[in-house]
Amino acid sequence: MTIAHLLEDFGVKTPVEPVSNFSEEVVEEAKLVSFEKGYTAGWDDAIDAKDKEVTNVSATLASSLEDLSFTYHEAQSQLMESLDPMFKVLTSAILPDTMAATFGHHIIDHLNEMAKSRINEPMEVVAAAGEGTAIRALLGDETSLDVRVREDANLNAGQAQLRVGQSERELNSEALIESIRESIDAFSYQFKEESHYG
């Protein structure tokens, strides 16, 4: 007796086609449902991936903008801190010296402007004590102006009153410098307040 019946046969067998109990329409419907489920699952996965990508990009952008904002405010603060001493020197030394050196020229410019519409009317400059000589010297160069110059002890250096006919004008370089100083101080104060409170 042989043992062939105990061993598995690996020989080629003719495949037998299974007999389907389902109609072709049912099979097609099942394929469509399966395709639709797969397509929907793929679409949902793509949307989820895109949402995660958008969230990551938004978070990165927000972080970068926050860093830029911080860097900008930090740079702006450092700039203001470095400019503050320069503004103080400007308003306490440079501007007063410049105004003192050019005050006579400002008087002549204002007189010329005032005299344009009032030709042949009397002109007068009232200056602080000790400044009349310098103003007369400058007016000597202006042959077109016939101006009376007098000094008033009640005026401070850098102050003058101009009269052409009935028109009057007051020049006050110290008040102008003080106004500039107050504007700079107000700007610095406002900037510091905004930087503290965002």
pLDDT band at residue 113 under the 50/70/90 scheme: confident
The token pair that represents 142 in the structure block: 């202006």
Q: Which CATH architecture has domain 60-197?
A: 2-Layer Sandwich (3.30)
pLDDT of 141 reads 66
* pLDDT(198) > 60: no
SS3 26: helix
Strand order from edge to edge, sheet including 167-172: 147-152, 123-128, 159-164, 167-172
Mean pLDDT across the stretch 19-34? Answer: 80
Pair 157, 100: CB distance under 8 Å:
yes
Q: Model confidence over 45-67: pLDDT tens digits?
A: 889 988 898 888 888 888 888 77
If phi > 0 it is left, if psi is from -120 to 50 it is alpha, else beta; for residue 158 that is left
Q: Model confidence over 122-166: pLDDT tens digits?
A: 889 999 988 888 888 888 766 566 788 999 999 988 899 999 888
* pLDDT(16) > 60: no
SS3 119: coil
* pLDDT(1) > 90: no
CA distance 158 to 173: 5
CA distance 22 to 172: 108
Helices (H), the chain: 24-89, 95-115, 132-141, 173-197
Higher-scoring residue by pLDDT: 18, 185: 185
Full-model pTM: 0.52
Higher-scoring residue by pLDDT: 98, 76: 98
pLDDT band at residue 29 under the 50/70/90 scheme: confident
Q: Of the candidates 184, 33, 188, which has an alpha carbon nearest to the alpha carbon of residue 94?
A: 184
CA distance 121 to 115: 8
Least confident of 20-24, 26-30, 98-102, 187-191: 20-24
Mean pLDDT across the stretch 11-39? Answer: 76
Pair 147, 160: CB distance under 8 Å:
no
